[in-house]
A and B are shown apart, each in its own frame.
Chain A
């Protein structure tokens, strides 16, 4: 503790250099924190949204191709199936093209069974079932657009060439994304001329142990038909989406590491310059009795304090910006839920600590062991 003031006095001997070093470390760790948050958030989304009893069925050809709605009855009669909900994805715009609200058009009869974990507002599901133009909105959507229950809104379709006029009758607290809406598939069918097509059948099994059996039964049932199914557990279904972009996450992590490495070199150069300028003072301290080990610790402590200050600033900024981004963005589906997990926060601070120690260690060690006579003679 008695050396603390010495460390801080030395840190502020060149305020501009210290401030610039702190800022450069802060910016790099902001980038690092934000980039490294992406994959961990994807994993978190998967863990949060995937139910152990829900199954998603789409065509074997891919999610861009529909299934016939007639499958609903066949699926419903499969052993261990509790509920079936056909759904279509309706990408919508509210007012401006930037106001995108991803929406799901689903049959209303079993929504409370199918998505019992979504946190529907009291009375919302009943009201939803009563009216064909009723909609349930995620709380993020309600907050972002300042909607209120009872409000009528019009959405313009982008994946479907039809507009829908909906009345919000309730809210969803814990859906798969912070911003989305749920409305009647029947309404969408009617506007589209009743094509009878379904993007995805959501199936609920009676318990998690029967899920593999149900998946096998469903795939077998529609094998060799004109629209063969590809049924997966919800975790595998969502994971499939995420898997397609996982390479970008890996790249993001790689870029994050490169940024940290780069700033590590910059910090090492700054530390080396700062220590080199003080060789005479270090020699004086050695000559009055400071052991090499104490000098080394003091110099590394200066660097660690600088790097940690940058780390706290950078991690704090990344945490805040991602939080603001998550609240204000509604068009990124589950990825609008990007935030900085506690583990990444700790990783960022650990990276700061590492930058501090590694950047100063080599020049500090050399300075702490310099020949006192030579160092004193050099400056004198």
Chain B
């Protein structure tokens, strides 16, 4: 049976120019992330985790190699097409939440929907559903400054899932949270992955993440050094 993949990287290398030096952030990485899986990309600082995530979301470009997300090979896309593609297929969660401070929780979640053809009433129902899914149905009119760190990250997750993207990408989503909030966010992501069958790719340092994800990809110095797939997942179950 042919396995379908949410993300495929083939011999991807990303080199940065820093002053007179070439820094190889990713070195000939080849990996495949199956659809509807919750995966973690782990590794020490500077191992290339975030670079990998940026390549998957199309906000950075591979120096060489091929990146395919869903059915699209994004390495060939132009910037304008990439923006439209991201709006349709990618939900992003950042370490520092990155909510717009002058917008309420509702308006922050509504932001990606402004790029769609949905009418006001449809947008409202989508936003309310997303905020309900992250347990913040009662915080619609709150501004980011009126929310705790954990709640802000929940709003950011609601913003990431509101367009029903092909893949949700989270960059250190627990990195700025206390232990309790971090557990809640990991549980929430795990729950969303299972309930909505979403592919979630999470970059993290957090060892607790290994308990909730389906598989873990390990990077070190820009090289993929291993993949841990729990037995149940490797056997096709979830």
Chain A residues with a Cβ under 8 A of chain B: 2-3, 5-6, 9-10, 12-13, 280-281, 284-294, 372-373, 376, 379-380
A9 touches B103 (CB 8 A): yes
Is A289 within 8 A of B107, CB to CB? no
Cα(A294)–Cα(B88), bound, Å: 16
On chain B, the residues within 8 Å of A293 by CB distance are 80
Which residues in A have their C-beta under 8 angstroms from that of B120?
Answer: 2
Nearest-neighbour CB distance to chain B for A88, whole angstroms, equals 69
B→A interface (CB under 8 Å): 54, 57, 59-60, 79-80, 83-88, 90, 92, 94-96, 98, 100-103, 107, 111-112, 114-115, 120, 159
Contacts known (A3-B114, A373-B60); A289 close to B90, Cβ less than 8 A: yes
Contact of A286 among B54, B59, B103 (CB under 8 A): B59
Q: Report yes or no: A373 in contact with B59, Cβ–Cβ below 8 A.
A: yes
With contacts A373-B59, A373-B60 known, is A284 near B94, CB below 8 A? yes
Known contacts A288-B111, A289-B88, then 7 further A-B pairs from the complex at CB < 8 Å, ordered by chain A residue:
A6-B114, A13-B101, A13-B102, A289-B115, A290-B87, A291-B84, A380-B94
- Report the bound CA distance from A106 to B21 in whole Å: 93
Q: Which residue of B lies closest to A372 (CB)?
A: B59
Identity of the chain A residue whose Cβ is nearest the Cβ of B111 in the assembled complex: A288
When chains A and B are docked, how far (Å) is the Cα of A286 from the Cα of B84? 10
* 22 chain-A/chain-B pairs, Cβ below 8 angstroms: A2-B114, A6-B114, A9-B102, A13-B102, A280-B98, A284-B94, A284-B100, A286-B59, A287-B59, A287-B86, A289-B87, A289-B88, A289-B90, A289-B115, A290-B87, A290-B115, A292-B79, A372-B59, A376-B94, A376-B98, A380-B94, A380-B96
Q: Is chain B's binding surface mostly helix, strand, loop or mixed?
A: helix
Closest B residue to A377 using CB positions: B50
Are A285 and B111 neighbours in the complex by a CB distance under 8 Å? Answer: yes
**Cross-chain contact A291 with B80 (CB below 8 angstroms):** yes
For A10, the chain B residues whose CB sits under 8 A away are 102
Q: Which residues of A contact B84 (CB under 8 A)?
A: 289, 291
Q: Which chain B residues border A290 with CB–CB below 8 Å?
A: 83, 87, 115
Query: Nearest 6 pairs between A and B by C-beta?
Result: A289-B87, A291-B83, A372-B59, A289-B86, A284-B98, A13-B102
List residues of chain A with CB within 8 A of the CB of B83: 286, 289-292
**Contact status A289-B112, CB under 8 Å:** yes
Q: With both chains docked as a complex, state the minimum distance between the C-beta of A66 and any C-beta of chain B, in angstroms.
A: 73
Which residues from chain A contact B107 at a C-beta distance below 8 Å?
5-6, 9
Q: Which residues of the other chain, B, contact A6 by a CB distance below 8 angstroms?
A: 103, 107, 111, 114
A287 to B88, CA, bound (A): 12
Q: Which residue of B lies closest to A294 (CB)?
A: B115
Check B96–A288 contact: CB distance below 8 A.
no
Interface centre among A288, A290, A291 (most CB of B within 10 A): A288
